[in-house]
A and B are shown apart, each in its own frame.
Chain A
Amino acid sequence: MITRGRSGGIFLAALFVMVAGFGYLLAVQFEPTVNKAYVVPAQNVELVEIMKGLERENEGAAQRIVDLRGQLGELESKGASTSDEVRVLTQQLRELRGKAGLAEATGPGVVVTLSDSSRTPTLSDDPNYFVIHDGYLRSIVNLMRRYGATAIAVNDQRVLGNSPIVCAGPIILVNSSRMSPPYVITALGNPEMLADSISQDVFFRVLEMYRDQFKITCSLEKKTSVTVPASLNNAAFKYAVGVK
């Protein structure tokens, strides 16, 4: 009877710990859901369908532009053999297109990879430290330019001087295109110079601290060859006109 009473007490204590632990786990598990995030509003299904439909259309348009540019390049090459003037102008145009980011670029460079934390924040954590913000991408792009990058892309999007990097809640958009993590920021330039300078910059060190503490992904690699896609935007201005 004494043995049974003692083991019963241990059992109740164990049960208490189990139930309390269960309650805690449930609270942690469902905490984000009770606010608002995971109650799926009815219209979201439709909005996601519209979003995906537009993305499919844009992918199709992007491919058609790449094909048309290829066709134009072939015509220009044929035309270049007809006269010296056309040949010189065609060469000049190719250089200008490269400078304007309208041509794919390949060469040595660096790749910075950022991604949200794999760890779920607990109740005591600030969830902001666990996700990659649009401002991080802007700062990394700015650092790459500062240390000599000649061409930059985020995932499949070429980033020019006028490319907006914005967010809509947790979704990051570059050139009005939705990005999915991991965010791979590729820069052409001197790999040693870029990697050494970026890794010593205060902003990058802060990101490395977040990586160690909050388990976000933050890496920097030197590459002997990287490819940055061409911008698919039209180069002409609507409002600005040339003046002498």
Chain B
Amino acid sequence: MPWQSTMLIFSLISFFVGFFLPGQARVVREMKQTYQSQDPKDLIRVIRDLQQRKQDLLVEETDVSQKVMQYLRSSDDTAAQVRQLQQEATVLKQRTGAIPLAGPGIRITIREQSSGASPSMLADEDLLLLLNDLWASGAEVISLNGIRLTDSTSVYRAGLNVRVDGKVTQMPLVVDAIGDTENMFKGLQIPGGVLDLLNLRRIGAIVQKVNPLRISD
């Protein structure tokens, strides 16, 4: 092949490399940003969550809208206003942990294997994942060894103990959750879920349905 032809081919290759690589990088980046490159299963999961969010927002919108209407109707009726305010105060006291609660739920008893050459231990991340899965599948109130979780509660291991809301408690850990029992039960049984993860690490977790379950303030 003549020397000039080789140079020409080489130059063309160099040109196309330089020309197309930045373009390819841009396309890949844009596809990542538009989410169109995601696994359809993930997108369906996101859509289900957004539909759930839509339902949740509708409940709140309807509730606040009704309160506004009631207030407008009772503008001259002090007794009716007092009733409305007291009702909402009761709901909020239940939410913030000032009132003991009862309802259907599940109890999970978690035991570590303390014997053997390599004892298993529940990690902070395991516990956070378990609680997160319960909230995501319909738990309304949760307690750990009788200590109710609130908006400011942190949970973490402190040596062999577990600290819940600053209070020290020991293993085994009893997790009580009031809420959508069937959904919580199903959520925990998902293959590859938190219970499988615990079992693989030889941490025993027994799940029972309990009705009624009581969680104190």
Contacts and interface: CB of A to CB of B under 8 A. Distances in A.
Q: How large is the interface on B (under 10, 10 to 19, 20 to 34, 35 or more residues)?
A: 35 or more
A65 B54 CA distance: 12
Interface in B157-213: 178-180
A237 B140 contact: yes
A237 B94 contact: yes
B181 to A, nearest CB: 8
A96 interface: yes
A164 B124 contact: no
A235 B95 contact: yes
B34 interface: yes
A100 B42 CA distance: 32
Interface of B: 3, 6, 10, 13-14, 17, 21, 24-25, 28, 31, 34-47, 49-54, 56-61, 63-65, 67-68, 71-72, 75, 78, 81-82, 85-86, 88-96, 99-105, 124-125, 128-129, 132, 135-136, 139-142, 149-156, 178-180, 214-215
A122 interface: no
A25 B10 CA distance: 17
Interface stretch (A35-43, A106-114, A210-218): A35-43
Contact of B136 (A38, A83, A164, A240): A164
Given A169-B42, A240-B179, A85 B51 contact: no
Given A65-B60, A86-B82, A164 B132 contact: yes
B99 A242 contact: yes
Nearest to B7: A11
Interface of A: 8, 11, 15, 18-19, 22, 25, 29-30, 32-33, 36-38, 40-41, 43-45, 47-48, 50-51, 54-55, 57-58, 61-62, 64-65, 68-69, 71-72, 75-76, 78-79, 82-83, 85-86, 89-90, 92-93, 96-97, 99-102, 135, 138-139, 142-143, 145-146, 149-150, 160-166, 168-171, 173, 175-178, 232-244
Nearest to B24: A29
Contact of B140 (A18, A64, A239): A239
Contacts of A92: 85, 89
